[in-house]
Amino acid sequence: QKEVEQDPGPLSVPEGAIVSLNCTYSNSAFQYFMWYRQYSRKGPELLMYTYSSGNKEDGRFTAQVDKSSKYISLFIRDSQPSDSATYLCAMSVRIQGAQKLVFGQGTRLTINP
């Protein structure tokens, strides 16, 4: 079993739809929970991170963590064509000043105008 499981999609929705992306994990030692966005032929960029159960909102994006169920989600409201990208969930543990990130497989999202 992989430490982090993410449905690879692809996922295609119309512009303006609400998008829900999800990951499950098995390692209780994970301390931080993140969502990265990766455009084609680019490096991943951090969208949001949180370390506690609950919701965190940033504009059209909401990250949700449920540590008891080992489940995290990213919601995108009023989705735009510019949101089309691969979304990677990531979990981390801190090791002597470094942060070991374990990524999900990534979900390829397409927003259709």
Binding site for another protein (CB under 8 A): 8, 32, 34, 38, 41-46, 49, 86, 88, 92, 95-103, 105-106, 108
- Minimum CB–partner distance for residue 77 and another protein (Å): 23
Other CB atoms within 10 Å distance of the CB of residue 63: 22
Q: Which is nearer to another protein, 26 or 78 (CB)?
A: 26
Listed in order, strand segments (DSSP E) in 39-84 are: 45-50, 54-58, 61-66, 71-76
Token pair of 30 as six digits: 């994970």
- Minimum CB–partner distance for residue 62 and another protein (Å): 19
- Minimum CB–partner distance for residue 69 and another protein (Å): 23
